[in-house]
Structure 1
Amino acid sequence: MIRTTDTAKVAVIGAGPGGLAAAMLLAAEGYEVDLYEQQAEVGGRSGELKLGDYRFDRGATFLMMPHLLEELFTLAGRSVHDYVSLTPLDPLYSLHFGDTVFTPSTNQDQTAEEIERLFPGNGNGYRRFMAEEADKLERVIPLLQRPFQSLGDYVKRDVFHALPKLNATDTVYNRLSRYFDDERLRFSFTFQAKYLGMSPWECPGTFTILSYMEHRYGLYHPTGGINRVLQAMAEVIQEHGGRVHTASGVKRIIVKDGQAAGLLLENGEKVDADYIVIGADFGSAMTQLFEPGLLKKYTPAKIARKRYSCSTAMLYLGVDGEVDLSHHSVHFADDYRRNVREITELGVLSEDASIYIHNPSVIDKTLAPPGKSSLYVLMPVPNLSADINWEQERAEVEDWMMERLQQIPQLAGIAGRVEESLFFSPLDWQNQQNVYNGATFNLAHNLGQMMHLRPHNTFEEVRGIWLVGGGTHPGSGLPTIFESAKISARLLREHDQAVRGRFTVQAGAPGAGAGVPL
């Protein structure tokens, strides 16, 4: 039942990037917002991790397209720069192929020269890629900023404008093969498919825009880490009168006559709400937050049959001394294609694996004691649908990752410098962070799970619920998660205004003001 005079109450589940962004927007618009987070800190899988005197981003490690974040804060009546200091990265990252190290930047002339030096004859392909992807992104962006809730959303002008450039039936790898003839260079522009937890040989060609966005708009490091941006969102929510409840898990969404009516918290408390925003992990939310048998489209069996991203094995290290690596570095397997296939198709651990190293202490001295470094190591691995016993394998994988690090010249002997260490497996992602299947990047972005075929922003099975985060349209990754929050907050507001408009029209009629069930 929606009240006619009081401010509508919105309960948001999950203080990850999507839940925080939606709660911030709705609180700024005057809604009575309560945000419930199971963990002790905000941020979800992108929150802060502390090991002794060392601090880490648990998940995401950089910002892309910061103007989208600026727009988000502006909509909430704030400037992100009043809360967070953003540092552009130059180079973007170092990409290591044995002894060959490629360090691209947003300076296209400089990057083209670097490509010609390392991969002769490919500079023109790079310039062609940048020019063609600019047009493609301009056409795709409108599709990421509005909902796809019915088939009718496909027959709009922006879809027809984008269609010739979408490349949705092609693959990321095939698209990049049109520009570059050196395999290492192709990998340099296709590894971003991992941000979606997918193989570039399977990921729809639409997503070549990921590497373009990096090269065009750059990557940024917030002082204190990505988690600092999410903490700032929590601060803005509270400034607008909203409430952020940490260590307050939600056990169940209360549903009455097909309408969301509130929450049952894990501590037994019941919370009334007019509307609910689900920012929790999609698979976990669908299988845990509703009474068994209530959902028909998203039954546990149907959730299990969906395709999910790969997972990640993580190693967080507090290291004595400085580390002579760039802020971001990717160290490719000798046989990268085989490594990706083992992760995404065969479901086995690779003997020759690629790793990503985040070394933020090279520019941010707030994350470790003076003269020391916080080092974050990520290895893509199969999600929990693979037949891997992580309770048995975790120690061996941790040892392998440490040995792999010590093969890097700048990290030789690093094991003897480690003061703090934490290994995090796909099983830990599931059990400690409530990530379904340990799929760190949420639902996969195959054609059967994009746009209208992805879970809709307005939840279909229970009225009064909206979804945000990587498991709904437009998808995973911080920029698109923020867009999902903007879309869902707008849809909720429009729905609420329409409901209250009906009350106004019916004023004076018999029963007016008694509330309209939705």
Structure 2
Amino acid sequence: MPHLIDVAYCQLMMTHHNPDLGTATVNDPRPHAIVIGSGFGGLAAAVRLGARGYRVTILERLDQPGGRARRFRQDGFTFDAGPTIITAPFILEELWTLCGRVMADDIALVPLDPFYTIRYDNGDVFRPSADTQRMRQEIGRLNPSDVEGYERYLQESERCFEAGFINLIDTPVDTVPRMMAVMPSLVRRRADRSVFKLASKYVADRRLRLALSFHPLFIGGNPLRTTGMMSLISYLEKEYGVHYAMGGTHALVEGLAKLIQSQGNSILTGADVDEITFEGNAATGVRLADGMTIPSDIVVSNADPGWTYTRLLRKRPAKRWTAKKIARSRHSMSLFVWYFGTNRTYGEVDHHTILMGPRYEHLLTDIFDRKILADDFSLYLYRPTKTDPGMAPPGCDSFYVLSPVPNLEADIDWETAAEPYRKKLEAYLEQTLLPGLSNHVVSSKLLTPTAFKDDLLSIKGAAFGIEPTLFQLAWFRPHNKSEELDNLFMVGAGTHPGAGLPGVISSAKILDKVVPHASQFA
């Protein structure tokens, strides 16, 4: 088999090689691991597999690595395509340590203070930060009687962090006994209670309830039903901060690509995996859309698990993750993202801004359950040029505005709805935060739920895979070690522990506990 791998690999390199993304050595004796997809989960998986003795080939169907964390450059502006909020930097730093390097040598992480600005529909403003005294003042400014309740909420957030992050985020939960082992902590933390209900238990002011409960939207969850364990994000932010990588989040993608290259491994772009090959009950490699078959000892899929099981394993009858089960699973909402550059700067606008609309519960119900495109919205506005002017030409600003919208189960024709919706967002921003915006936009690009389906191969165009409801977490999600085939493993938002940068990177750490060491294939 080593000779067969080498021949196929040489052919693949001649067809797909990108010289900036590494070159493995021909006749490399290391066992071969294929990683499908180069999102953060796939990149972190490649680093960890390389550190454990594997020769790794990442196969990326798009023209650049990163997945949702792609980069768009247009008209002199630089746009991060997806994730922009970096928390728990120690999870990233560990990948550099595995390679005997220091992340700070390659990546300049800047702590943000405040973390973000929340602007309410009535004009009120709330700015969370890591400073305890300032937070007391911020809480007290909105409602003095909630200061004590907030501090008790933060104590509960720390307990949830201990139970749901420290003890669970990088632990496989792929058997019933393992699930039963974590149940007591979930019961103690009342995991059946939503994060919105948990926040409401501790603070009375509606504005604060919203500020403490919206975070699940960043991982595809509905705050009205996502488990209160996700309150851990509040403690995570306070303890470890919110950061920005100079050059944008994609700078982290580039840094990880260099780590992979330093291990003698490769990322091949324009390599479209059509199916996972298997023999008996074990994965044996992949076949590309152009017909080339690449053998490997293990396969790691960073693709949507629904896509992996229904498309890449379409020739093998599923035992658990059948097409019907995947279709019945509740998937996250999708996103409408407008990337735009202006020929002026908006100096008063912070790096991250959350614009809360006039409704909360009813809007979430419209998005997640009724699946209609509501007339109102809540938005996330990203202005990296607040911190990093190099993301735009001199005297200009780079933005994106993100609106949570229903996934493609909704009856919305985005081909006709996209531009009218963009204009609504533009008008709203012009009225509230960016005066004269329509006269200053000089670069524009849209991302709709259709792109999540077509470009990122997300089932139902969901932006974050399977929704993180209580019975779609841990054991109930597609497992990191596939239930369908031996030598097949999963990383990314759709598997355990779930979406968000800490989650997808930690899904790769779980591989250390479920993937055999390379020496076992010798």
* Both proteins in one fold, TM over 0.5: yes
Correspondence for 1:374: 398
Correspondence for 2:191: 168
Query: Are 2:121 and 1:83 aligned?
Result: no
Structure 1 residue aligned with 2:161, among 137, 140, 153?
137
What one-letter code is carried by the residue in structure 2 that aligns with 1:132?
E
The question of whether the paired residues in 1 share the 8 Å contact of 2:160 and 2:230 is answered with: no
Correspondence for 1:42: 65
For 2:382 and 2:75, the matched residues in 1 are separated by: 19
- Structure 1 residue matching 2:363: 3-state secondary structure: helix
Correspondence for 1:511: none
Q: Deviations over 1:405-444 (max 9, x none)?
A: 1111x30111111111011110122112222211111111
- Structure 2 residue matching 1:91: 3-state secondary structure: coil
Structure 1 residue aligned with 2:136, among 109, 112, 122?
112
- Structure 2 residue matching 1:62: 3-state secondary structure: coil
Structure 1 residue aligned with 2:427, among 378, 403, 407?
403
Query: Are 2:126 and 1:102 aligned?
Result: yes
Moved more, 485-494 or 11-20: 485-494
Instruction: Give the TM-score taking structure 2 as reference length.
Output: 0.91
For 2:102 and 2:188, the matched residues in 1 are separated by: 34
Structure 1 residue aligned with 2:246, among 218, 223, 234?
223
Correspondence for 2:11: none
Structure 1 residue aligned with 2:476, among 438, 447, 453?
453
- Structure 1 residue matching 2:393: 3-state secondary structure: coil
For 2:151 and 2:115, the matched residues in 1 are separated by: 17
What one-letter code is carried by the residue in structure 2 that aligns with 1:441?
F
Query: Are 2:343 and 1:346 aligned?
Result: no
Q: CA deviation at 1:75?
A: 2.3
Query: Are 2:149 and 1:149 aligned?
Result: no
Q: Deviations over 1:320-350 (max 9, x none)?
A: 1112210000111111222111101110111
Correspondence for 1:507: none
Q: CA deviation at 1:317?
A: 0.2
For 2:360 and 2:239, the matched residues in 1 are separated by: 25
Between the aligned residues of both structures, percent identity stands at 34
Correspondence for 2:511: 488
For 2:430 and 2:41, the matched residues in 1 are separated by: 37
For 1:458 and 1:2, the matched residues in 2 are separated by: 24
The question of whether the paired residues in 2 share the 8 Å contact of 1:318 and 1:419 is answered with: yes
Supply the RMSD in Å over aligned alpha carbons. 1.8
For 1:491 and 1:76, the matched residues in 2 are separated by: 21
Q: CA deviation at 1:382?
A: 0.4
Correspondence for 2:496: 473
The question of whether the paired residues in 1 share the 8 Å contact of 2:220 and 2:499 is answered with: no
Query: Are 2:146 and 1:122 aligned?
Result: yes
Correspondence for 2:221: 198
Moved more, 299-308 or 372-381: 299-308
What one-letter code is carried by the residue in structure 2 that aligns with 1:388?
I
Structure 2 residue aligned with 1:337, among 325, 348, 361?
361
The question of whether the paired residues in 2 share the 8 Å contact of 1:49 and 1:57 is answered with: yes
What one-letter code is carried by the residue in structure 2 that aligns with 1:120?
P
- Structure 2 residue matching 1:378: 3-state secondary structure: strand
The question of whether the paired residues in 2 share the 8 Å contact of 1:16 and 1:45 is answered with: yes
The question of whether the paired residues in 1 share the 8 Å contact of 2:53 and 2:519 is answered with: no
Q: Deviations over 1:173-220 (max 9, x none)?
A: 110011110111100011101012222111111111123322332110
Correspondence for 2:269: 246
| Unmatched runs of 5 consecutive residues or more in structure 2 | 4-27
Structure 2 residue aligned with 1:288, among 311, 323, 327?
311
Instruction: Give the TM-score taking structure 1 as reference length.
Output: 0.92
The question of whether the paired residues in 1 share the 8 Å contact of 2:149 and 2:203 is answered with: yes
Q: Deviations over 1:347-389 (max 9, x none)?
A: 0111111111000101102211111111010000000011212
For 1:443 and 1:386, the matched residues in 2 are separated by: 16
The question of whether the paired residues in 1 share the 8 Å contact of 2:482 and 2:490 is answered with: yes
The question of whether the paired residues in 2 share the 8 Å contact of 1:136 and 1:165 is answered with: no
For 1:355 and 1:135, the matched residues in 2 are separated by: 30
Q: CA deviation at 1:52?
A: 2.2
Correspondence for 2:24: none
After superposition, residues 12-23 of structure 1 pair within 5 angstroms as: 12-23=35-46
- Structure 2 residue matching 1:268: 3-state secondary structure: coil
